[in-house]
Amino acid sequence: LKLEMPTVNLDREVSVLATVAGVVHSLKSCAVTWQKLISRVLEEQLKKVPQDNSPLAEINLWRENNATLRALTEQIKLPEVQKVLEILQAADSKFTGDLQIVLSDLKTHHMEAEDNAKFLSTLERHLKNLSTGTGVDVISSTIPSLLNALRLVWIMSRHYNKDVRMVPFLERISWEISQRVRRVVDLQTLFKQDIAAAKKKITEARTTLEQWKKCYFTTCIQVEESGSKRYWKFDVKRLFEKTDYMVSICQDLYDIFQVAEELHNIFIPELITVSENPKGVDELQREVNIVISPMEDLTFDPFNMENARDWAFVIEEFREDVTVETVEQIFVQNLEDPPLYKNHPPVAGAISWSRSLSHRIKHTITRFREEEELLASERGQEVEKLYLQVIKKMDEYEDQKYRQWRERTEHMLPLLLKETLLTVSSATEEHVTTKKSVCFALNFSPEIEEIIIETKYMEQLGLPVPEMARYVALQEEKYLSYTNKMKAMLVRYHNLIEMMNEAETKLLDHYLQELWGILKSGCKRLTWKSVGIGEFIVQCTQTIGKLEILVHQIHYISEDINSKLQSIESTNLFKFPHSENGDKCPGAKEFFDYVKCEQAKDVEQLVRKYSAIPQLLIEVERRVAHTDSGKSPKLASYYAYWENRIFQVLIQLIVKNFQAFNASVLANVPLLQVEAVLSVSEITLQPNASEIEKMTVQSIQDCIEVTKHFVRWMHGTCIECPPQHAKVDEVVTFSFYSDVSQSPLVIEQGVLITQNVHKLLASLRECLNQWKKYDLLWKSDKDAVLDRLAAEKPACVVFDKHLQFYMKIAEEVTQQPLIKDEQFIRLQLAPLASAVQETAKSWLMSLGKLLNELAKEELLSLQDEIQVGVFSL
């Protein structure tokens, strides 16, 4: 909006311009335009109303008015406009009278709009929280602050200090709060939610509505106490009639969900034990859902007061539907298998379930009876009659359940208390030699526990219980303590038995018999009525504890023995010499002599470890038999057990060493060397194959004979047998050797080694056979060949052929490999090659000498012929 400015020149003085008729006429025309514009704007602004029913809409309206009127007011204050008004006032004061009235109205309305916009803006933050704040807690905290701010506006504002302004604004706030409640309590979604969540929403909504009214009256008192003469004496019905009605609707909705929850709680899965009829439970849940389902499909808004009659009809129908018929159906369908609350016993749980149904319908009927018109109707009479029938059935059901339980308890409880404390899986009178022969179990019947729980719940239900049942229930803590202690004791017992092997069970047979004798009293003499249960538990626990200590001590000693046996079993009896030069290996005799020497060193260590074992067994004897002789009859089987273990360890010692030696024989790593030599016109090994096999067999025998140093114990003791004089000059020592040497495992591994060495030597002989192509060198009779050549006196070409043949052999031998590694043996071919070469050279020398002699002889013959010819001339 913009005021139209005059087009005339206004630079001269006001008094001068006021006398110029043309100027005054032009300015009057402009002033009339201003007056019309301002009047029209004021009329439009006064007719404007807020866009909706919210308090923020009213604030926005005042802001718009303020902005519009401020724009006109600012233009009126312009120097140019003020000069126009001064000229017109000087020229014709009567003309400006109407304009001044309009300008005054503009100022008045602008000041009101500005003042209202300023004060109401202090409420904006609270109103936004009310409108869009997340959560009911925000609204609850906003209402007191909002009313306190309104109180300040009432005191300080020049316009919102009257009923005509404040009451409509409070109505708008009340409307805003009710709208928030409508959004929270949306029936389209409320009945699809969890019952607890729905109840919480309804409660919060109702609390918000009630808080709004409560805070209002609190603010009224504060206004009066502030000393202000203008009190809040507003029309309460106008402000709270709708919200009070909404409070009643919230209460109705809460009651609906409360009834639904009570019906659901009778059989919802979270509160009941597993039912034998889950389909029936689901069906009952559907029945309850059907009762409340009409609420989801309402065709009207229950919060609208105009629909109060329709809502009252819906509530009446609901109250009729959730009465006796629904509860009766639940009761009848679950008589045989009533859903139980968690931790409830069967009988008391069934009675509690029946009473909860009874309470539900009693509660509903009580509310029915408060509605005299409803109860007096035909439908009401039918409900009352059915109610009495169902209550009677429930009472009879409860009486029957209680009577049956009491009769069974009075009959069974004395019998159950006569049961022994423990049961046993085998007869303890027999001499037990295996660790699993005896197994004890707690013999506390679950029926006793059930009777105790039933008794406690029966008394909570106000029902009399048998005296013996009450006594047992009062002793629940004692029985619980007994059973827990016996369970722990039996766990310790079975763990102890489980950790003992057969040898230890035999060793500790006396202690076990003593323990079983004590436990046997819990299987025969002591019952749950006995007074010595506590002493029995203490005695068993102490005896088990002593036996545990003894078993742990024996295990500690056994671990020490096993450690020594493990060390013996893992001993390497085939230690090989290390060659200082990688190409040179020890000879066969040197190799096997080294192995035997190292075995002798190891035997000393082995015997030392073996000799320490009897002392450890004597330590066991001290703890078990309280003697230290090494020949206690109580430990005879235990000595035999360890002697057998030693025998098995020695077999494994020999077998593992044979396996390791056999692996070394087959591995392509040379450990010893033999030489190929030419001996008496024959190519052979040095030492020969037979000698090597004998050395191998002797080494195997030496390994087995290590066990001769392990002297056997005398029968029934851990004392070594003294040497026995079989004959005058013969001393016999009983060792493990005879048994170990006859072990099939040992024999098998020893034979395997000898077979592999035999195969290896055969392979080496095949290698030597390749040198037989030079047999002519040593098998031909050199003297005879030379004599024949000397007699024949062949040409030089023949001699050259022979010389080339032997020279080629001498050179060829130098090209042959001089070392051949075959598995664990290195074959040195250098001696054989040297012998062949020397033999070839010997042939060369002999042939050369013969050729020389023949040539010399021929030369002398020729010389003689020459001389004869000369003389003849």
Q: Tokens 């229950």 appear where? A: 302
Task: Please tell me the distance from the alpha carbon of residue 205 to that of residue 254, in angstroms, as a whole number.
Answer: 11
Tell me, yes or no, whether 93 and 203 share the same domain: yes
- Interval 691-720 mean pLDDT: 93
The two tokens of residue 468 are 């013996």
Q: Mind listing the pLDDT tens digit for each residue in 66-90? A: 999 999 899 888 888 888 888 888 8
More confident position, 476 or 773: 476
Q: Is residue 824 part of a domain?
A: no
Label residue 140 by pLDDT band (50, 70, 90).
confident
Tell me, yes or no, whether 526 and 496 share the same domain: yes
- Interval 803-817 mean pLDDT: 75
Those residues with Cβ within 8 angstroms of residue 149's Cβ, 6 or more apart along the chain or in another chain: 122, 123, 126
Q: Mind listing the pLDDT tens digit for each residue in 23-43? A: 888 888 888 888 899 899 999
Tell me, yes or no, whether 278 and 190 share the same domain: no
Q: Is residue 3 part of a domain?
A: no
- Identify whether the C-beta of residue 153 lies closer than 8 Å to the C-beta of residue 119: yes
- Identify whether the C-beta of residue 499 lies closer than 8 Å to the C-beta of residue 399: no
Tell me, yes or no, whether 199 and 291 share the same domain: no
Number of Cβ atoms within 10 Å of the Cβ of 196: 10
Q: Tokens 């000069």 appear where? A: 83
Task: Please tell me the distance from the alpha carbon of residue 443 to that of residue 437, in angstroms, as a whole number.
Answer: 19
- Phi/psi for 732 (5° steps) reads -110, 130
Return the H-helix or E-strand segment holding 223: helix 195-225
Return the H-helix or E-strand segment holding 675: strand 672-679
Tell me, yes or no, whether 704 and 612 share the same domain: yes
Distances (CA, A) of 257 to 199, 286, 376: 7, 15, 27
Tell me, yes or no, whether 76 and 116 share the same domain: yes
Return the H-helix or E-strand segment holding 686: strand 682-686
Return the H-helix or E-strand segment holding 62: helix 55-76
Which pTM was predicted? 0.57
pLDDT at 427: 44
- Phi/psi for 713 (5° steps) reads -95, 155
Helices 136-156 and 163-184: crossing angle in degrees, nearest 10, is: 180
pLDDT at 327 over 50: yes
Tell me, yes or no, whether 806 and 752 share the same domain: no
Least confident span in 156-165, 264-273, 588-597: 264-273
Those residues with Cβ within 8 angstroms of residue 561's Cβ, 6 or more apart along the chain or in another chain: 613, 616, 617, 642
Phi-psi map region of 721: left, alpha, beta (phi>0 left; psi -120 to 50 alpha): beta
Q: In 170-316, which ranges are E strands?
A: none
pLDDT at 779 over 70: no
Cβ burial, residue 339 (10 Å; 0-12/13-18/19+): buried
DSSP 523: H
The two tokens of residue 588 are 């066969």
Percent of the chain scoring above 70 in pLDDT = 89
Q: Mind listing the pLDDT tens digit for each residue in 195-217? A: 888 888 889 889 999 999 999 99
Position 258: which residue type? Answer: Q
- Interval 110-114 mean pLDDT: 92
Distances (CA, A) of 836 to 180, 677, 682: 121, 10, 11
Whether the link from the prior residue into 687 is cis, omega within 30° of 0, is yes
pLDDT at 368: 59
pLDDT at 432 over 80: no
Q: Which of 768, 783, 804 is the last residue of a domain?
A: 768
Residue of 766, 588, 832, 594 whose CA lies nearest to 693? 588
Tell me, yes or no, whether 49 and 187 share the same domain: yes
Residue of 322, 352, 321, 312 whose CA lies nearest to 334? 352
Task: Please tell me the distance from the alpha carbon of residue 15 to that of residue 748, in angstroms, as a whole number.
Answer: 148
Q: Is residue 245 part of a domain?
A: no
Q: Which of 209, 230, 251 is the last residue of a domain?
A: 230
- Identify whether the C-beta of residue 183 lies closer than 8 Å to the C-beta of residue 205: no
Q: Mind listing the pLDDT tens digit for each residue in 515-552? A: 999 999 999 999 999 999 999 999 999 999 999 999 99
**Helix (H), strand (E) counts: the chain:** 32, 8
The secondary structure of 422-478 as a DSSP string is EEESS-SSS---STTS--EEE---HHHHHHHHHHHHHHHTT----HHHHHHHHTHHH
Cβ burial, residue 124 (10 Å; 0-12/13-18/19+): middle
Task: Please tell me the distance from the alpha carbon of residue 289 to that of residue 296, in angstroms, as a whole number.
Answer: 11
pLDDT at 401: 93
Those residues with Cβ within 8 angstroms of residue 694's Cβ, 6 or more apart along the chain or in another chain: none
The two tokens of residue 298 are 């309402």
- Interval 229-250 mean pLDDT: 89
3-class secondary structure, 120: helix
Number of folded domains that form the chain: 5
Tell me, yes or no, whether 292 and 389 share the same domain: yes
Q: Mind listing the pLDDT tens digit for each residue in 244-285? A: 999 999 998 888 888 777 666 654 444 444 444 455 455 555
Least confident span in 134-148, 391-405, 538-552: 134-148
Task: Please tell me the distance from the alpha carbon of residue 248 to that of residue 319, in angstroms, as a whole number.
Answer: 16
Angle (CA) 548-553-556 rounded to 5° is 125
The two tokens of residue 189 are 């979604």
- Identify whether the C-beta of residue 669 lies closer than 8 Å to the C-beta of residue 582: no
Cα–chain-centroid distance for residue 276? Answer: 33
Those residues with Cβ within 8 angstroms of residue 489's Cβ, 6 or more apart along the chain or in another chain: 537, 540, 541, 544
Task: Please tell me the distance from the alpha carbon of residue 631 to that of residue 625, in angstroms, as a whole number.
Answer: 10
- Identify whether the C-beta of residue 8 lies closer than 8 Å to the C-beta of residue 22: yes
Domain residues for the domain of 627 are 588-768
Tell me, yes or no, whether 403 and 431 share the same domain: no
Task: Please tell me the distance from the alpha carbon of residue 180 to that of residue 412, in angstroms, as a whole number.
Answer: 64
Q: Which of 205, 230, 255 is the last residue of a domain?
A: 230
3-class secondary structure, 674: strand
Task: Please tell me the distance from the alpha carbon of residue 837 to that of residue 707, in angstroms, as a whole number.
Answer: 51
Least confident span in 25-39, 410-424, 485-499, 692-706: 25-39
Residue of 611, 635, 624 whose CA lies nearest to 716? 635
- Interval 50-71 mean pLDDT: 91
Tell me, yes or no, whether 76 and 157 share the same domain: yes
Q: Tokens 């408060």 appear where? A: 370
3-class secondary structure, 276: coil
- Identify whether the C-beta of residue 280 lies closer than 8 Å to the C-beta of residue 340: no
Q: Is residue 837 part of a domain?
A: yes
Tell me, yes or no, whether 507 and 648 share the same domain: no
Residue of 314, 271, 307, 266 whose CA lies nearest to 291? 314
Q: Is residue 581 part of a domain?
A: no
More confident position, 381 or 184: 184
Q: Is residue 237 part of a domain?
A: no
The two tokens of residue 435 are 């660790």
- Interval 434-460 mean pLDDT: 87
Task: Please tell me the distance from the alpha carbon of residue 190 to that of residue 168, in angstroms, as a whole number.
Answer: 32
Q: Is residue 352 part of a domain?
A: yes
Q: Is residue 243 part of a domain?
A: no
pLDDT at 279: 53
pLDDT at 708 over 60: yes
